[in-house]
Structure 1
Amino acid sequence: MTDPIETSKSTSALNPNPNASPTTLLHPRREPFEHGLLPIQKLMFADPVQALSPLKRKFASSSTRRVDSAALADALQISSDHACLVLDTLASVLHSDSGDVDSLAADLLDLILYLYIQSYKKLLSRPHKDSAALADVWPSMSAFDGYLSALSPLQLVRCNTRRFIPSQADEEAHQLSYLQKHLANILSLLSEPVEGEGEEFMVLTMEGFEHLGFLIQFGEKGSDEVPLSQAAPFFANSDPDMPAVPVPSSQVLDWLLQNIASSLEHVTEKNHAKENGAPCDSYQDVAMADTSPSSVKPLPSVRSPFFIEGVSKSSYVKQASDLKNSSVKVINCHDSVIYILAPLRYATVYGCSDATIVLGAVGKAVRIEHCERVHVITAAKRVCIANCRECVFFLGVNHCPLIVGDNHKLQVSEPQVFPFASAARIYEITL
């Protein structure tokens, strides 16, 4: 890892009060971490800066600063199919829809940020003290974090799942900690040297700073996110007709680290309050003892996904008028029929068994993981299936599905839903 860039002499002039407390909380964007990771070994760099700096130098001089699949395959020494998969998955998790128009080539800086986070490891579930006794024939190694889950979905729910699966606040804190640790390296890849000042003096342009919107966002609970450049004191209210003056990278690093520290403190306080039984207005987890359909409620923040958790032996219906969120998570539902009849951007189905789940049109991506004997019916742009058993998928998809990990006895609908007959095998990765 590279060392943090030293603070420039001009920092105080550009930001007269760098120690001022942030007024808006910083949050990690969940989509790259939840839908963007690919279990391709050659993308998991031991030193991302050393691996990605040559890629930046090679394509930075290009007039368009875009990288197509052939160039990416050559630069990273990966197959053309994997290169296409990288660009396709990146397009599904970009922070702006404009970047999703053409998945044949990617913006260089977006691609670098996306490749960097492939080294991210998800927060592991807490082990059950009697996991050996509960284990059955479900030795599924997670395709994304290397965690061996010895329990089937039904066994997880029987041993009080909520005690062992990380909450949304836990996951956000884990993502913030990852960004805190790697931010200096990430900024070094986005920054440019100042001519005549030596390579040790790096600056970040407003354009480069806005690419950080791929990983972070600002916004308060229940409100729309704040544009990244408007949240930063050094770029706010810039004249649109005149390029903003580049800012020393060290100043950006200090300001972002301060915001991350404040956000981590905020999340930690809420976790502590929840553990002590105090009322908490965010990241409320649905208790397993109260999981009838009438008790399943959305999280208060429109930034967070809508949760449907613990539905058992019931039918559950949500329509577009019932949802304010563009993302839905269906977790630990068993022996039920669930209808989400609403347009969505993202959807996740995790740890369900013996259920039929119908998802409305999903514009970005659907992820189905650790499910058993589940029927999923969906129209979606992209679908990822990981570590599932005896499941049936009826898919109307624009892109061939990604099937990864330890899967057994899966059935997928007729191949005519794919662009070509063999599409289901193109993006199959078995670990």
Structure 2
Amino acid sequence: MENAETAMRDPVYLHTRREPFDYGLLPIPKLIFSDGATTLGSLKDKLIQRSSSFLRVDSATISETLQISLDDARRVLDTVAAVLHSDSDPLVSAKPDEIDDVGVNVFDLILFLYIQSYKRLLPRTHKDSASVADVWPSTSAFDGYLSALSPLQLVRSNSRKFMPSQADEEAHQLSYLQKHLANILSLLAEPVEGKGDESLVLPMENFEHLGFLIQFGERGSRGIPLSQAAPFFANSDPDMPAAPVSAAQVHEWLLQSIADAMEHITDRASVKQNGPSSASSSDQDVPMIDANTSSAKSSSSTRGLTFIEGISKSSFVKQAADLKGSSMKVVNCHDSVIYILAPLRYATVYGCSDATVILGAVGKAVRVEHCERVHVITAAKRICIANCRECVFFLGVNQRPVIVGDNHKLQVAPYNTFYPQLEEHLTQTGVETSVNRWDEPLALGVIDPHDSLSHPAGVSDVQAETAARLDPDQFTNFLIPNWFTGESPGSTKDNPFPLPEVYMASQLRNHNNLGEIKQVLGETSLDDGKKRELSSALHVYFKDWLYASGNIRQLYCLQND
């Protein structure tokens, strides 16, 4: 009785999993099917025929069946591994050299391919021209070559104030699933023997693959097993295979669950507009722009997702103990240093400029989008960079950095920092320090077909621009202030990613040059006037270097908030 009352008080709603939509879309044209289940049904049959006894396929099979390159097929495997719903799947825990041996389940692959047709939610109509800030230099090297709008201005021309909230995005994803649910179920279903395709059923193991797209329970949490939420599988005997269920019955139940979820989102939006006093604060979904209404330096968590938004001309730090979830979004931060010294599953950096963002260790995926003159330092399994300009990425990554959209003057460099708990966080997230593919960026195209933001006219024929390696003479170690690491001890004493020889040699050369300069200055006899003149010149050059290198941001750490 008590359980029933609890269920009535706290109904469990269906949610979409944000991970496949945020981190699982690849702008590879041959992966995007516009005819629903027609082509995918045929591809599924071919994949099953060529699969192992466990219904798994490797990159060679994917390449041959989908008629894509082996590199693109491997990219598919890596991406599916990053967004899978079950951590117990062997693909998730496979080491980089084991991915092909393990392969991907055919049904997970088919669902991944199906949502490649998804288009992101359009930003709301721009209504406030005063909110469009021109942060792009007026003397941009790209003036006259591309649109006058930089990537960040493109975002702001749609107005951050009117960007979709997390609730808007989920409602859009639910609507997409609602529209395509019949097709999706037909790809998971099997015909009844003797009755053909007119009578389709879903075995429980096929039904469980829907967990790739949806879950019951708090979004961003592990939720409850999908079969336990379904009335037709909930009480199945674990020792006896559950009987397949009519696909029509599953369709009807899921449509009702989606309708209930969309109504719940609408009710929460109504409560938010009318005041939060009548609703539980834990049940509120926080719009991106509203995550820091009380203070630009606060952060909010919503369904396992932590926001850091609106930091300007300051430094900001979050450690593992400060986070309530395993996913992070850094949004709309400018001229600042953001420290996220924690293990994460997913991280997004969006719409930032003139900032340095340090992400501790990310076990699934990082996405950096619509940023300008940002330095990103991260240890991660994979990173995707979209629509950015003049950004530098200091990377310790196990997979090739993927570059999509309209990017200009990007640079990549080896990982360049550490903090005491870093190796512990790397172990927790499964990031390998022995594999660093920072210098193998892969440009997949100029236009991202999933991106709802407008693009500069005429760029569709422009060759995709990749990232250049940072000049070793410009490479410096980034020092994380030790007072930010708290009381928790750690064993990391140095950068755990080995530096390439050319960068190590440059560091040694710079160190030796500094020693020689100190010696010369120490041995030079100068009167007080010359000393003051030399000191003034050094300060000017040092200040110029701080601004040119972006290291001026680190001085924010010394400010009193």
Q: Please tell me the TM-score bracket, short chain as reference.
A: 0.7 to 0.9
1:108 equivalent in structure 2: 106
Matched, 1:239 2:237: yes
Distance (whole Å) between structure 2 residues aligned to residue 182 and residue 149 of structure 1: 38
The structure with higher relative contact order (CA 8 Å, sep 6+) is: 1
TM-score of the two chains, using structure 1 as the length reference: 0.85
**Unmatched segments (≥5 aa) in structure 2:** 1-7, 137-146, 417-432, 448-561
Tell me which protein shows more helix as a share of its residues: 2
Deviations, residues 205-231 of structure 1 (Å, cap 9, x unaligned): 010010000000001489751111110
For residues 149 and 54 of structure 1, do their structure 2 counterparts lie closer, same or farther at Cα, with a shift above 3 Å needed? Answer: farther
SS state at 1:254 partner: helix
Q: Counterpart in 2 of 1:393?
A: 393
CA distance in 1, matches of 2:75, 2:205: 26
Do the aligned partners of residues 222 and 94 (structure 1) sit closer, same or farther apart at CA in structure 2, a change above 3 Å counting?
Answer: closer
1:182 counterpart = 2:180: yes
Q: Check 1:421–1:190 CA distance in 2 against 1; reply closer, same or farther (3 A cut).
A: closer
In 2, distance between residues paired with 1:390 and 1:40?
25
Kindly indicate whether residue 66 of structure 2 is the aligned counterpart of residue 67 of structure 1: no
Q: Aligned residue for 1:329?
A: 329
Decide whether aligned partners of structure 1 residues 220 and 391 sit closer, same or farther in structure 2, where only a CA change above 3 A counts: closer
Quote the Cα distance in structure 1 between the aligned partners of 2:225 and 2:414: 43
**Is the contact made by 1:154 and 1:353 (CA closer than 8 Å) also made in structure 2?**
no
Q: Note the C-alpha offset of 1:27.
A: 0.1
Cα displacement string for residues 291-338 of structure 1 (whole angstroms, at most 9, x for unaligned residues):
331x32322x33xx1011111111111101111200000000111111
Please tell me whether Structure 1 or Structure 2 has the larger radius of gyration of its CA atoms.
2
Choose from 165, 169, 187 the match for 2:167: 169
Instruction: Select the residue among 217, 220, 233 that pairs with 1:219.
Output: 217
Distance, in Å, in 2 between the alignment partners of 1:310 and 1:132 is: 17
Choose which of 282, 295, 299 in structure 2 pairs with 1:296.
Answer: 299
Q: How does 1:203-214 map to 2 (within 5 A)?
A: 203-214=201-212
Counterpart CA distance in 2 for 1:343 and 1:232 is 33
C-alpha contact 2:292 2:300 (8 A) present in aligned 1: no
**Counterpart secondary structure, 1:343:** strand
Deviation, structure 1 residue 77: 1.3
Of all paired residues, the percent bearing the same amino acid is: 63
The aligned amino acid for 1:334 is H
Please, which moves more after superposition, 182-191 or 65-74?
65-74
Q: What secondary structure, in the 3-state scheme, does the structure 1 residue paired with 2:239 have? A: coil
Is this contact kept in 1: 2:124–2:158, CA < 8 A? no
Q: Which amino acid in the other structure matches residue 376 of structure 1?
A: V
CA deviations over 1:56-108 (Å, ceiling 9, x no partner):
11232442311211111111111111111111101100001233134322100
What is the Cα deviation at residue 135 of structure 1?
9.1
How many matched pairs?
397
Contact kept? 1:134, 1:155, Cα under 8 Å: no
CA distance in 1, matches of 2:221, 2:40: 35
Residue by residue, what CA displacement relative to the aligned partner does 1:334-364 show, whole Å, maximum 9, x if unpaired? Answer: 1111101110000000000011100011000
The match for 1:97 is 87
**Is 1:424 paired with 2:414?**
no
1:283 aligned to which of 282, 285, 302: 285
Distance 1:413 1:132, change over 3 A: same
For residue 51 of structure 1, report the CA deviation from its aligned partner: 1.3
CA contact (8 A) 1:36 1:89 kept: yes
Task: Tell whether the 8 Å contact from 1:136 to 1:152 is kept in structure 2 after alignment.
Answer: no
Distance 1:358 1:423 in 2: 19
Q: Which runs of 5+ in 1 are unaligned?
A: 1-19, 139-147
Report the alpha carbon displacement of residue 386 of structure 1 after superposing the two structures with TM.
0.4
Who is 2:69 aligned against? 79
8 Å CA contact 2:328, 2:344 repeated in 1: yes
Output the CA distance in 2 between the equivalents of 1:254 and 1:149: 49
Counterpart residue type for residue 269 of structure 1: D
Please state how far the C-alpha of 1:414 moved relative to its aligned partner: 4.2
- Judging changes above 3 Å, is the alpha-carbon distance between structure 1 residues 422 and 231 closer, same or farther for their aligned structure 2 residues? closer
Tell me the equivalent position of 1:359.
359
Q: Give, as a single letter, the amino acid of the residue that structure 1 aligns with 2:44.
A: K
- Paired with 2:221 and 2:232, the residues of 1 have a C-alpha distance of 23
In structure 2, what is the Cα distance between the partners aligned to 1:308 and 1:288? 8
Offset, 1:171: 0.2
Partner SS state of residue 203, structure 1: strand
Deviation at 1:117, TM superposition (A): 0.2
Which position in structure 2 is the counterpart of 1:43?
A: 31
CA distance in structure 2 between the partners assigned to 1:57 and 1:193 by the alignment: 13
> Do residues 315 (structure 1) and 315 (structure 2) align?
yes
DSSP 3-state at the match of 1:339: strand
Task: Report if aligned partners of 2:413, 2:439 keep a CA contact under 8 Å in 1.
Answer: no
Q: Give the 3 Å change call, closer, same or farther, for CA 178–357 of structure 1 in structure 2.
A: same
Which residue in the other structure is 1:24 paired with?
Answer: 12
1:245-286 deviation per Cα after TM superposition (whole angstroms, max 9, x unaligned):
000001111011100000000101212332344556311233
What SS is found at the alignment partner of 1:39? coil
State the TM-score, normalized to the length of structure 2: 0.66
CA contact (8 A) 2:204 2:242 kept: yes
